[in-house]
Structure 1
Amino acid sequence: MPLDSRSKYARLYRMATPDHLCPFGLKAKALLESEGYTVEDHLLESREATDRFKAEHGVETTPQVYIGTDRIGGYDALQRHFGQTPQADKDKTYAPVIAVFAMAALMGLAIGQAADFTAAANLRTILATAMALLAVQKLRDIESFTTMFLNYDLLARRKVAYAYIYPYAEAAAAILMLAGTAAWISGPLALFIGTIGAVSVIKAVYIDKRELECACMGGSSNVPLGFVSLTENLVMMAMGLWMIATLG
């Protein structure tokens, strides 16, 4: 059946080799089908076939979608074609941080319920859990985190090694707080990194008026540097002071 601009047919060229099945090709196929298109699916089953296709069609990437005689492009272009917003086009969002703090609150409440904690102990558990989850986000790709962190942290800019130490320090303080032990370590540690972080955010955002992305969720997030980042550091400062106060 001929493929013309009036029909609901599309041609899709996507990479599907024994060692790589392109996820964006699968997403493009699913999106076309969800929009009612019958997909003429062309699998590029080797690196050579993929390179040959790109050279013949003058494109740099796959997948490639054609509707009628028009080349739509890759998955992002296909989303735009159907009025959707690709991830790359989305504005900065606080959603990842909200998800972390919401999960931390639920986990802390659940732990507190099971252990019959006091209100104060429950709050400590919630905040320490939030710190631990934020540390995990940084540790899952520490190189990306440090790259973003060096954009604004004052101590890391002087001592690059601190950028690598930071997520481990945050994780250590959080675990010790959850365990309710070694407050003489967790308190000063949280107070130290929290204070430096708060001063760095205030300088970058509120004094220098710079528009940066926050490293609080790791290096691949799209969270703007500002109130949320400052809140994370203020929480660590408060937790540090709390732990120090328990030393009596």
Structure 2
Amino acid sequence: MTHRYQITGMTCSSCEAKVKTALLMVEHVTNAEVSKESNSAVITMDKHIALPVFQQALDSKYQISATHHNETAEQAKSWLETYRPILLIFFYISLVTVLIQLKNEHFDGMEWMRHFMAGFFLVFSFFKLLNLKGFAESYVMYDVLAKKLPVWAYAYAFVELGLGVANLINFNSIVTNSVTFVVMSISSIGVLQSVLNKKKIQCACLGAVFNLPMSTVTIIEDALMIAMSGIMLLTQI
């Protein structure tokens, strides 16, 4: 995609060159044409880059602004494109599990959560197992347990698979949900640390198949499983 930006503060050809160099150094920028005469920059990028990222890359004497496009709309569009795989997965799991409930006279919330968790763990373990080594290499970068015990990064995918099967066949609900609560709680610690520290790490939730950044979306995924397993435990204790 290509966008035109307004840049103020350029007074000479040297400024023009400095701005162009700084913009080209920004990740995902593929080309930049800068003009001090029109105080503008035409930037080509392989994904939308937020305006503050460009401003941070420039010297404080230069100010960049978006005058030819809606920055909020572009950021929303970029977010949807980035997380489309996860959004689609959640949509399909939600759709299938709700359709299953149509056979019941009344909506069974506990059964729906169990089926949702089954679908979640089976699908996410599937993507991890497509490239187990790639997943493990990404996971060990931020998971607190995998950092100390690297074999856990390989075992984690199979634990998710087991939890998916256990939920699907309704195996000992207390044991299944207890394991889920503990495993997902431990996993969320590393995710929280990475997001709060603003580390640019690839999220391993879908293995190495999709290049997804670590973000609040990952926190929501873990929190959802923790909440569901916690609720199911409380109803049975």
Same fold (TM over 0.5): yes
Match of residue 194 from structure 2: 204
1:152 Cα deviation (Å)?
A: 0.6
Contact 1:183–1:246 at 8 Å: present in 2 too? no
Which residue of the other structure, out of 203, 228, 232, is the alignment partner of 1:239? 228
Which residue of the other structure, out of 97, 101, 104, is the alignment partner of 1:112? 101
Which stretch of structure 1 is more off in the superposition, 152-161 or 131-140?
Answer: 131-140
Which residue of the other structure, out of 213, 218, 229, is the alignment partner of 2:207? 218
Secondary structure of residue in 2 paired with 1:151: coil
Percentage of identical aligned residues: 25
Q: Tell which structure's C-alpha radius of gyration is larger.
A: 1
1:96 Cα deviation (Å)?
A: 1.0
Match of residue 149 from structure 1: 139
Are 1:183 and 2:183 matched, yes or no? no
Go from structure 1 to structure 2 and tell me whether the alpha carbon gap of 1:198 and 1:131 turns closer, same or farther (over 3 Å shift): same
Looking at structure 2, the residues matched to 156 and 189 of structure 1 have their Cα atoms a distance apart, in angstroms, of 17
Looking at structure 2, the residues matched to 161 and 123 of structure 1 have their Cα atoms a distance apart, in angstroms, of 30
Using structure 2 for the length normalisation, give the TM-score: 0.62
Looking at structure 1, the residues matched to 232 and 112 of structure 2 have their Cα atoms a distance apart, in angstroms, of 14
User: Structure 1 counterpart of 2:129, which letter?
Assistant: L
1:94 Cα deviation (Å)?
A: 0.5
1:136 Cα deviation (Å)?
A: 1.1
Q: Pairwise CA RMSD of aligned residues?
A: 2.4
Looking at structure 2, the residues matched to 191 and 247 of structure 1 have their Cα atoms a distance apart, in angstroms, of 14
Looking at structure 2, the residues matched to 189 and 127 of structure 1 have their Cα atoms a distance apart, in angstroms, of 13
Contact 2:122–2:165 at 8 Å: present in 1 too? yes
List structure 1 segments (4+ residues) > 6 angstroms apart after TM superposition.
none
Are 1:130 and 2:114 matched, yes or no? no
1:1-248 superposed matches below 5 A: 89-90=46-47, 93-114=82-103, 118-120=107-109, 121-206=111-196, 208-248=197-237
Contact 1:145–1:218 at 8 Å: present in 2 too? yes
Looking at structure 2, the residues matched to 157 and 111 of structure 1 have their Cα atoms a distance apart, in angstroms, of 40
User: Structure 2 counterpart of 1:130, which letter?
Assistant: F
Looking at structure 2, the residues matched to 110 and 103 of structure 1 have their Cα atoms a distance apart, in angstroms, of 10
| Unmatched segments (≥5 aa) in structure 2 | 1-30, 32-43, 49-80
Looking at structure 2, the residues matched to 133 and 184 of structure 1 have their Cα atoms a distance apart, in angstroms, of 22
Contact 1:214–1:222 at 8 Å: present in 2 too? yes
Looking at structure 2, the residues matched to 181 and 152 of structure 1 have their Cα atoms a distance apart, in angstroms, of 31
Go from structure 1 to structure 2 and tell me whether the alpha carbon gap of 1:191 and 1:123 turns closer, same or farther (over 3 Å shift): closer
User: Structure 1 counterpart of 2:187, which letter?
Assistant: G
Secondary structure of residue in 2 paired with 1:180: coil
1:212 Cα deviation (Å)?
A: 1.2
Looking at structure 1, the residues matched to 93 and 203 of structure 2 have their Cα atoms a distance apart, in angstroms, of 19
Go from structure 1 to structure 2 and tell me whether the alpha carbon gap of 1:102 and 1:203 turns closer, same or farther (over 3 Å shift): same
Instruction: Tell me how many residue pairs correspond in the alignment.
Output: 162
Looking at structure 2, the residues matched to 179 and 116 of structure 1 have their Cα atoms a distance apart, in angstroms, of 21
Match of residue 52 from structure 1: none
Go from structure 1 to structure 2 and tell me whether the alpha carbon gap of 1:218 and 1:198 turns closer, same or farther (over 3 Å shift): same
Using structure 1 for the length normalisation, give the TM-score: 0.59
Contact 1:194–1:235 at 8 Å: present in 2 too? no
1:211 Cα deviation (Å)?
A: 1.2
